[in-house]
Amino acid sequence: MAYYKKVRLFGYWVCEHGKGGFGKIYSGITGQDAVNFLLCVKSGEIRNAFQHPALGFIDLVYGEMGKTGFGLAHILEKHPEIISNLHRFVINSKIVSQLPDRTILLYEPDIKSIISLTWHEVDKKWLVTTYQRIFSAI
């Protein structure tokens, strides 16, 4: 049985599992609550934050801001309008492309999500980014 500690942080009960590649590892919180929790903590990852019908469980990582950023921090910086519906966009999206290292999801005609299937060559499904595609009228 894996070691974990149940704690209350920012009004949420979560399980802490030590540290991983993205910082502290949390579980026991899903959906939009997982998004809101990481926005408060500003680091780490939540295992099994989302459950997509075809892909199964997807981890949510806080990640990094910047041009080469990823995860929730990147989405918050570049596409803040997505945050309040992030969970809904990910779990209700259709798979439009599957590559060996990532899957691309599409919600409606304009919301795109990228799910990585690995982290440093280890199997791990995690949300890299979600954004709204802007179509030109030209």
Predicted structure pTM score: 0.91
Sole residue written with tokens 């918050």: 76
Q: How far apart are the first and last CA of the chain?
A: 58
Per-residue pLDDT of the chain (138 residues; tens, 9 = 90+): 467 899 999 999 999 999 999 999 999 999 999 999 999 999 999 999 999 999 999 999 999 999 999 999 999 999 999 999 999 999 999 999 999 889 999 888 899 999 999 999 899 999 999 998 876 555
Nearest in space to 74 (alpha carbons), one of 95, 89, 60, 56 = 60
Residues near 101 by beta carbon (within 8 Å), at least 6 away in sequence = 116, 117, 118
**What is the distance between the alpha carbons of residues 1 and 56, in angstroms, rounded to a whole number?**
22
